[in-house]
Amino acid sequence: MSGATLLKESGPREVFCGLTSIVWLHRRMPDAFFLVVGSRTCAHLIQSAAGVMIFAEPRFGTAILEERDLAGLANAHDELNRVVKNLLARRPEIKTLFLVGSCPSEVIKIDLSRVAENLNIELKGQVTVLNYSGSGIETTFTQGEDGALKALIPLMPKSDQKKLLLVGTLANAVEDRLISIFNRLGIDNVESFPPRQSTELPSIGPETKVLLTQPYLTDTARELKNKGAEIIEAPFPLGVTGSTLWIQAAANSFGIEKSLVDSILNPLISRAKQALAPHVEKLSGKKLFLLPESQLEIPLARFLSNECGMEIVEIGTPYLNRDLMKAEIDLLPPDCRIVEGQHVERQLDRVRDSSPDLVVCGMGLANPLEAEGISTKWSIEMVFSPIHGIDQASDLAELFSRPLRRHDILNPKTLTTN
């Protein structure tokens, strides 16, 4: 590993919970339904995060635990069974039903795996019922996707075919572009997990080479490895360098000639660098502080420091998987400080002491920091924006240069110094 300093911190946290990932997962797999087993707070979170769909029936909902359930006066398992059966009678097109646990369902110890098992026996394959936890007690918001993917792995068929498996949700257009690059390199058998339909799960086996698109899939990567797949070690496909190394790692693993890889990637790299230039001008020399929330913080810091010239004050990450993150940490400037975990009060003190130009943080911290005159960027935007790949590097940089430009417009004093 590079000379980055790795520290740990614990205390009060300020992050979104794993339910949030339903917002992008329900779009990715439109034949699946996500039923949160939680309180009115959970229902409120998921509806505000996703936007209430008035004209289209949404593909998520909440089985609300009422006071009687929480007080243990009702049999929550029976209630949930009833709710699921009503839902499936009304929505026969649902192919996969995820029962998503929450803080309240964990506190009153509803055994969702048992409910799912019983429903699978009763429904006899008509619908597959799975469960995972989106509770905010111990997890952060991207871990919801990790839990959902891990729940799908036991259903993946076995295969001995040589293939490249891209793991982690990507915007469809970005995914198509990346697959087309791999096809041009001669890697024809490329599949994605999660797939675009929950029933079209890719097969897996010892000839499957997994290329992670997202850094927060620790449990998923471990389970895929247990199924015999090989995890390709690479940085993540953010920025020109990260995306280039990511594609090269897959190409190496498939024995593709370096000259062919260069001939395909070099034009993309020069175009992307040109598009990046105006953002580099804005970002270069600016101080960046990343608070922990998405687990994308280390790849983002690597991109913003190495390709955009930003000065990194601190990289917070809610959880650090040293194996998956090794290639990223090796690319960081040697004096970087990475803090795993969170003590939000101490971190905010360090933010104020270091007067950064930009703070990447959760929505709950952004407004108070903006009120103190510190520009912010919501970390959740990174999972909703198409930022992966060489072509997207300038769009990714723009997400960070935009708040600085906005700050300049709102602060005429800064304008005169530019």
Q: Which residues bind ligand SF4 (CB under 6 A)?
A: 17, 19, 38-39, 41-42, 45, 102-104, 134-136
H or E segment at 105? Answer: helix 103-107
- Beta carbon of residue 132, minimum distance to ligand SF4 (angstroms, whole number): 12
**Cα–Cα distance, 393 to 243 (Å, whole number):** 9
CA distance 417 to 361: 27
Distance CA 19, CA 36 (A): 8
Q: How far is the CB of 293 from ligand SF4 (least distance, A)?
A: 13
Among residues 161, 167, 139, 152, the alpha carbon closest in space to that of 17 is found at 139
The residue sitting closest to ligand SF4, measured at its beta carbon, is 136
Closest approach, Cβ 282 to ligand SF4, in A, equals 36
DSSP notation for 200-250: -PPPB-TTEEEEESSTT-HHHHHHHHHTTPEEPP---SBHHHHHHHHHHHH
Nearer to ligand SF4, 41 or 81 (CB): 41
User: Taking phi first (over 0 means left), then psi (-120 to 50 degrees means alpha), and beta for anything else, what does residue 309 get?
Assistant: left
Cβ closest to ligand SF4, residue 17 vs residue 204: 17
The nearer residue to ligand SF4, 138 or 160, going by C-beta atoms, is: 138
Q: How far is the CB of 136 from ligand SF4 (least distance, A)?
A: 3
Could you tell me the smallest distance in angstroms from the CB atom of residue 152 to ligand SF4? 21
Q: What is the dihedral of CA 147, 229, 216, 397, to 10 degrees?
A: -140
CB of 20 to ligand SF4, least distance (A): 8
Q: Which is nearer to ligand SF4, 88 or 148 (CB)?
A: 148
Q: Using the minimum distance from each CB to ligand SF4, give the nearer residue, 103 or 320.
A: 103
Contact (CB, 8 A) for 146 and 216: yes
User: Given the complex with ligand SF4, which of 108 and 275 has the nearer CB atom?
Assistant: 108
Task: Give 11 or 364: the residue with its C-beta nearer to ligand SF4.
Answer: 364
Smallest gap, in angstroms, from Cβ of residue 65 to ligand SF4? 10
Q: How far is CA 409 from the centre of its chain?
A: 31
Tell me the CA end-to-end span of the chain in Å, nearest whole number.
38
Q: What are residue 133's DSSP bridge partners?
A: 101
Nearest to 220 by CA among 129, 136, 157, 143: 143
